[in-house]
Amino acid sequence: MTDAADVTFADLNLRDELQRALSSLGYEEPTPIQRDAIPVLLEGRDAMAQAATGTGKTAAFALPILQLLESGHRAPEPTALILVPTRELCMQVSEAMHRYGRDLNVRCLPIYGGQPIVRQLRELKRGVDVVIATPGRAVDHIKRGTLALDRVRVVVLDEADEMLDMGFQEDLEMILDATPTSRQTVLFSATMPSRINNIARKYLNNPARIQSESAPVAHGESPAVRQTAYMVSRANKTAALGRILDIESPVATIVFCRTRDEVNTLTETLNGRGYRAAALHGGVDQSQRERVIARLRSGSADLIVATDVAARGLDIDQLTHVVNFDVPSAPESYVHRIGRVGRAGRAGVAITLAEPREHRILKTIQRVTGNDIIIEKLPTVADLQTRRLEMTREALVEALAADDLDMFRGVVESLGDEHDFVEIALAAVRLAHEATNGPIGGDDIPDEAPPVGGDSSKKHGDRKEHGKDRLKHHGKEPGKGHGKKSHSADGGGGGITRVQINLGKEAGIRPQDVVGAIANETGMKGREVGGIEISDRFTVVEVPSKRAKDVVAALSSTHIRGRKPKARVLPDR
C-alpha cells in the first residue's frame, strides 16, 4: 500500500490531459487536501472539506470538475458552478481552471461585480462549461434568466464561511434551490461554524468530511531555529528575498518553492541578480543533484532553490538558513523544512515570505508546532546600508588580527607625511567597502498588513524595538463587527467619508448586506468598511475617502436584498 506522503498525481487516476497539464506546470505531488479530497470528489460524493487559502484547495475541486467534462462537443449550459466570496478569488479560480484544463479546451467564465455584464451575457449565450461567480452576480443572472443551471452536475461553495460572514446566506440558498437535486455539492471552508452545518444538512447528501490529518508535530521541535515571517505581496517577493538575503548574509541556504516552474524561474532570476543559485527539483537527475549539493558544500553556490520532493534526504552541515518562498500547505511540511537547520544544537534561521491571505495558515502552523513565528518589518535601504557597513567593520577586525600587514606599513607611513591618519583610515575603509559592495538598487519594499484579527500595530514601529509581532493575534474575523459602532474605515490614513444609501430597516437592510455588497462589487476588504448606521429609510456607511466614488458607483449599479439602491456622498460634518 502506498504511503500517504508518497502519493503522486499519477496515483489519483486523473485523465491524461490533466496529468500533462500538471506535469507541464511543475506540480510534483499533491498537497494533503488534494490527496484526500480528489478521490472522494471523483467518486461523485458530496463533501465538506476544511481547508484554508494556500493549501491547494482550488486544484482539489478543479481537477475532479475537469475530469467530468466530455471530450469534443459539449452542451452550452454549464456543467459546474463554483461560488466564491470576492471577485479576486473569482479571477484566481478561473485562471487556475484554464491552466489545468488547457488540453480540454475548457470554456470557463468568471462572473463578478464591476465587470461589464454585456460580456458575461455574450459568453453565457455562446456556451460555457464552468461558471465561477460571486453570489450577488449569480443571483442577478438567475433573475434575468441568463444563467441556466438545470444541467449543472457539480456545485462548489469555496470559502463558505467568508460568504456567510458577508451576508450571502439567502443568495446561496436561492442559487442552490435553482440547481438539480441530483447535483454533487462540495463545500470548502476554513472554519466550520454552526451556520455551515445548517447549510450542509439542508443541501448536502451524506457528505464526506475531509480534514487532512496532520502528522504529529512535537512542540518546540526546533528550539535552535529563529523563525521569522515577512508579509509581502506576490509581486514583491523576489525583491524582498534578495533584500533579506543581503541583510542575513547566510553561509548556505535552501529556498523552498511549490513547483518546478517556480524553482527554475526563481533560480534564473537570483543568478541574474548576482547570487550563486542552483535548482533542485524532480526534473534533475541524480548526477546533477550530486553536483548541486557539492557546490553548496564547497561554497561555490550560495543557495539551492528546491521543491519539497527534491529536498528529501538532504543533510548539509553548512546550512544556516531555510526560506519558504511560499507558506507551506501543512504544519508538518513546515517542520520538515526548518528541521534542516538547527541540527545538533547549531543555530539556524527559518524565514517565510507570506502574502496577507496566507496569514491564517501561519497562525495554524504556530498553533500546531508551539513555536513563535515573528512577523518582522521588511529591511529598508537604510537597514541594508547599515548592515553592509557592519560587515565591512567585521572584515577589518579580521584583517587587523592577521600577521601579514607589515608589507602595507610603508604606504601608510608615506601617506602620513601629507595626511591625517584618521583621513587615511577613512579612505581605506571606503575602498574596502566599495570593493565588496555594489550600489543598492531599488526603493524600500512596502510591508503588507495582515488581515483583520491580527494586531499589526507593532509591525510598523521602530525596527529594533517595536518591529516584531509574535503571531498571536486577537480580534474579530473579517466581515464581523459591522454595527452602529464599528471600527474606523480609514485604515490608518487618508480619512473617511460617509456614503448614504436610500434603503434602510423598512427594506430589511442589515449591516452584513451592506458589507457584502461593497466588498463584492468594489473588491474592498470587509475590514475596510467602517461604521454603519441603519435608519428606517436609509443607511449611512463609513468608507475610506479614496474609495468613496467607487463605492457610490458600485452600490448604484447593484442590488441589495432585491432592491436597486441609490447612493451618494454626504458632506463632512
* 3-state DSSP of 101-127: CHHHCCCEEEECCCCCHHHHHHHHHHC
Least reliable range by pLDDT among 46-55, 233-242, 426-435, 491-500: 491-500
Shared domain check, 125 and 11:
yes
Is there a contact between 363 and 371 (Cβ–Cβ < 8 Å)?
no
What angle is formed at CA 499 by the lines to CA 493 and CA 503, rounded to 5 degrees?
Answer: 150
Question: For residue 524, what is the domain's CATH number?
Answer: 3.30.70.330
Residue 241 CB-density burial (10 A; 0-12 exposed, 13-18 middle, 19+ buried):
buried
* Tens digits of residue pLDDT in 290-335: 888 888 888 888 899 998 877 766 767 788 899 999 888 778 778 8
Ranges 249-258, 276-285, 341-350: which has the least confidence: 341-350
pLDDT band at 487 (very low <50, low <70, confident <90, very high): very low
Q: Which of 378, 393, 408 is the endpoint of a domain?
A: 378
Residue 53 shares a structural domain with residue 160: yes
Note whether 176 and 162 are same-domain residues: yes
* Alpha-carbon span 451 to 360, nearest angstrom: 9
Inside any domain, residue 477: no
Residue 519 sits in the same domain as residue 370: no
- β-strand pairing of 539-544 with 532-534: antiparallel
Share of the chain above pLDDT 70, in %: 83
Q: In this structure, are 64 and 157 located in the same domain? A: yes
- pLDDT for 377 equals 87
Domain boundary (182, 210, 238) is at 210
At a CB cut-off of 8 Å and minimum separation 6, what does 198 contact?
Answer: none
154 and 22 both lie in a single domain: yes
Between CA 451 and CA 235 the distance in angstroms is 18
Q: How many domains does the chain have?
A: 4
pLDDT tens digits, 36-83 = 999 999 999 999 998 766 678 899 999 999 999 987 778 889 999 999
Residues 399 and 518 in one domain: no
Residue 223: which pLDDT band, with cuts at 50, 70 and 90?
Answer: very low
DSSP 8-class letter at 450: P
Q: What is the mean pLDDT of the segment spanning 340-357?
A: 80
Assess if residue 559 is contained within a domain.
yes
Q: What pLDDT does 313 receive?
A: 63
The answer to whether residue 549 sits within a structural domain is yes
For 545-554, write each residue's pLDDT tens digit: 888 888 998 8
Phi first, then psi, for residue 455 (nearest 5°) are: -80, 95
**Does residue 457 fall inside a structural domain?**
no
Residue 313 lies in a domain: yes
**Do 297 and 177 share a structural domain?**
no
Q: Are residues 368 and 241 in the same domain?
A: yes
**Would the pLDDT of 425 be above 50?**
yes
Query: Measured between alpha carbons, how far apart are the two ends of the chain, in Å?
Result: 71
The pLDDT of residue 491 is 42
457 pLDDT exceeds 50?
no
Mean pLDDT confidence for 518-538: 79
| Residue 55 · residue 31 · CB < 8 Å | yes
In a domain, 459, yes or no: no
User: What are the CA-CA distances from residue 412 to residues 423, 427, 435 (Å)?
Assistant: 11, 11, 19
Identity of residue 215: A
Average the pLDDT over each of 115-119, 135-139, 259-263, 324-328 and give the range with the smallest value: 115-119
In this prediction, residues 380-386 reach a mean pLDDT of 77
CATH number of the domain bearing residue 140? 3.40.50.300
Instruction: Provide the residue range defining the domain that includes 168.
Output: 4-210
Residues 360 and 410 in one domain: no
pLDDT, tens digit, 9 for 90 and up, residues 179-195:
999 999 999 988 788 88
Query: Predicted confidence band at 436 (pLDDT cuts at 50, 70, 90)?
Result: low
Task: Please report whether residue 240 resides in a domain.
Answer: yes
Calpha distance 320→250 (Å, rounded): 6
What grid cell was written down for 364?
495554524
Decide which of 355, 378, 401 is a domain's last residue. 378
User: What's the rounded Cα separation, in Å, for the pair 305 and 256?
Assistant: 6
In the numeric block, which cell numbers belong to residue 358?
Answer: 496566507
Same domain, 259 and 294: yes
Query: For residue 424, is pLDDT > 70?
Result: yes
| 485 in any annotated domain | no
Residues 247 and 395 in one domain: no
* Grid cell listed for 316: 548539509
The model's pTM is 0.53
Amino acid, res. 435: A
